[in-house]
Chain A
């Protein structure tokens, strides 16, 4: 008996129009993991999630959720899976509390058992005050929370979130990150797809990158980030410059008169750059990373 929350073997999907969305991908996610599945648009992420949730029929291969095959043991597999879809998928005309209670009922949870669970879940997600509101009246952020409440009401062992923070403001995104970290800490395995690579870097321990229907990386976040050769930095200057300084061994670009951007190889020390700038009388007020590190690597990998 292994302890994989998800095992995908040779998963293939060819849509009726002939598009080959998945070209035989294989993937294993450990129990308790917080796993990021990344890829550009059309890479096959949503097809993969759709197949796991049985919303999309697969052309070939197998999927097991905690060792339960979605073909031969479908009810058992589905009962321990929660999915937060990319698009809103609840009835807009029902009340928030009814939507979550009904969802519990679809998992065989009686109303009397569901009632305290629903109350607790809505309170945890800040939806209790809106429990009697029609879903269509909720803001985008609250709709996202409702999607999460729905997916968690039957206490799944594996939770899959397909771009859960798309279109959500920074404050709510941070709140959702904390919430997801907490439920992961309490034992729920989480698989996340996102376009915000910072999100994956912040939350996930392991990562899979999918491109054109194939897995091109499946490793730990630490290992992936260690592959970065170059690090970008933005230097905010005290005095304006007219032209970027020429310093041997460092590539410098002036973004505006007070902002200098550089890319430094891993084998070089940033102190060398500061020494050279000092010699030229250029004073640096502050410094920050140029962009998300994972983003650079991601773009590099899918370009190959």
Chain B
């Protein structure tokens, strides 16, 4: 009986996850192509045109220094955007009722959406990495294990944040406010384009309060072997926030906040 139930739950999880993956693949021109185009522009303008005038950053060519930051920026925005738009979309279209009426446990609903966001984040990360190889073919990953781990953890963390945003969202404005006014500035100021070592002391201290700095630098440690922050501290904080946001998401689903009347 338990085995049968476990198989049923696995089928429900796979159904939702594959539906989520199918969704962003179906609209690939809106989901997978734009990051490749935008990041190509960054590489052309900041890497090829302005980069040589900047010279080196922390001992690396500027274009090489930017690669981990730009990949992280794409992973963060895409994993967040995938879940926030998909979950708000099912709320808006009322197709969330299909899930709520079914016997799917709440954790499979959450995991299905998160895996959808993680998949898009990782696919976009890989696309941007291949774009970067065009501009810097000799790029070598310093620590592939750490790189993959941070890629996965970051996509998970921001998918969870997208989910929570969508739960509370009541309009399309609500799902664009946080990405536009919170995430984007934090990402841009989080060390994607520069090392905080070039900042004056005061702004360096202020930057330490930006969570994006830890995500970007941990990833840069994986790809280039350099970081402005402690890796063990960063990984612990990312894991802690994944735990907190997972618990919060499950609580919201259990209580039906934002999804049940």
Instruction: Spell out A's residues near B (CB within 8 Å).
Output: 15, 50, 53-57, 74-76, 78-79, 81, 83, 85, 87-93, 98, 102-103, 105-110, 150
Q: Residue on B with the closest CB to A103?
A: B98
B231 at the interface (CB under 8 A from A): no
Checking A76, A89, A107 against B95 with a beta-carbon cut-off of 8 angstroms, the contacting residue is A89
Contacts of B105 in A (CB 8 A): 75
CB–CB A56/B97 < 8 A: no
Binds A, one of B11-19, B76-84, B153-161: B11-19
CB–CB A92/B93 < 8 A: yes
- Complex alpha-carbon distance, A39 and B167, angstroms: 32
Q: Would A55 and B12 be within 8 Å (CB), given that A89-B94, A91-B90 are in contact?
A: no
Checking B94, B101, B256 against A87 with a beta-carbon cut-off of 8 angstroms, the contacting residue is B94
B200 at the interface (CB under 8 A from A): no
CB–CB B9/A150 < 8 A: no
Checking A53, A93, A98, A109 against B101 with a beta-carbon cut-off of 8 angstroms, the contacting residue is A53
- Complex alpha-carbon distance, A83 and B93, angstroms: 17
11 sampled A-B residue pairs with Cβ under 8 A: A55-B97, A75-B103, A78-B103, A83-B101, A90-B93, A91-B95, A102-B98, A105-B11, A105-B19, A106-B102, A106-B104
In B1-55, the 8 Å CB interface with A consists of 5, 7-9, 11-12, 14-16, 19, 22, 26
Checking B5, B15, B94 against A102 with a beta-carbon cut-off of 8 angstroms, the contacting residue is B15
CB–CB B94/A110 < 8 A: no
Measured between C-beta atoms, what is the minimum distance from B213 to chain A in Å?
38
Contacts of A54 in B (CB 8 A): 100-101, 260
Q: Residue on A with the closest CB to B15?
A: A105
Which of A106, A107, A150 has the most chain B CB atoms closer than 10 A to its own CB?
Answer: A106
* Residue tally, chain B, CB below 8 Å to A: 30
Given contacts A78-B103, A91-B95, 7 further A-B contacts (CB under 8 A): A53-B97, A55-B97, A57-B256, A75-B105, A105-B11, A106-B98, A107-B8
- Complex alpha-carbon distance, A98 and B26, angstroms: 13
Which of A83, A102, A150 has the most chain B CB atoms closer than 10 A to its own CB?
Answer: A102
- Complex alpha-carbon distance, A53 and B261, angstroms: 12
Measured between C-beta atoms, what is the minimum distance from A182 to chain B in Å?
23
CB–CB A102/B19 < 8 A: yes
B99 at the interface (CB under 8 A from A): yes
Checking A15, A89, A93, A108 against B97 with a beta-carbon cut-off of 8 angstroms, the contacting residue is A89
CB–CB A55/B95 < 8 A: no
Q: Would A90 and B98 be within 8 Å (CB), given that A56-B260, A105-B11, A106-B16 are in contact?
A: yes
CB–CB B11/A108 < 8 A: yes
Q: Residue on A with the closest CB to B27?
A: A93
CB–CB B103/A105 < 8 A: no
Contacts of A78 in B (CB 8 A): 101-103
Checking B12, B99, B102, B261 against A56 with a beta-carbon cut-off of 8 angstroms, the contacting residue is B261
Contacts of B260 in A (CB 8 A): 54-57
CB–CB A81/B101 < 8 A: yes
CB–CB A108/B12 < 8 A: yes
CB–CB B103/A90 < 8 A: no
- Complex alpha-carbon distance, A92 and B94, angstroms: 10
Measured between C-beta atoms, what is the minimum distance from A162 to chain B in Å?
11
- Complex alpha-carbon distance, A83 and B94, angstroms: 13
- Complex alpha-carbon distance, A93 and B19, angstroms: 12
CB–CB A55/B103 < 8 A: no
Q: Residue on B with the closest CB to A101?
A: B15
* 6 closest Cβ pairs, A-B complex: A108-B8, A105-B15, A106-B102, A89-B94, A78-B103, A75-B103
Checking B16, B94, B102, B256 against A88 with a beta-carbon cut-off of 8 angstroms, the contacting residue is B94
Q: Residue on B with the closest CB to A52?
A: B101
CB–CB B103/A79 < 8 A: yes
CB–CB B261/A50 < 8 A: yes
Contacts of A85 in B (CB 8 A): 94, 97
Measured between C-beta atoms, what is the minimum distance from B235 to chain A in Å?
35
- Complex alpha-carbon distance, A114 and B193, angstroms: 51
Q: Would A90 and B95 be within 8 Å (CB), given that A50-B261, A56-B260, A57-B261 are in contact?
A: yes
Contacts of A75 in B (CB 8 A): 5, 103, 105
- Complex alpha-carbon distance, A53 and B105, angstroms: 14
Contacts of A102 in B (CB 8 A): 15, 19, 98
- Complex alpha-carbon distance, A89 and B90, angstroms: 9
Q: Residue on B with the closest CB to A13?
A: B261
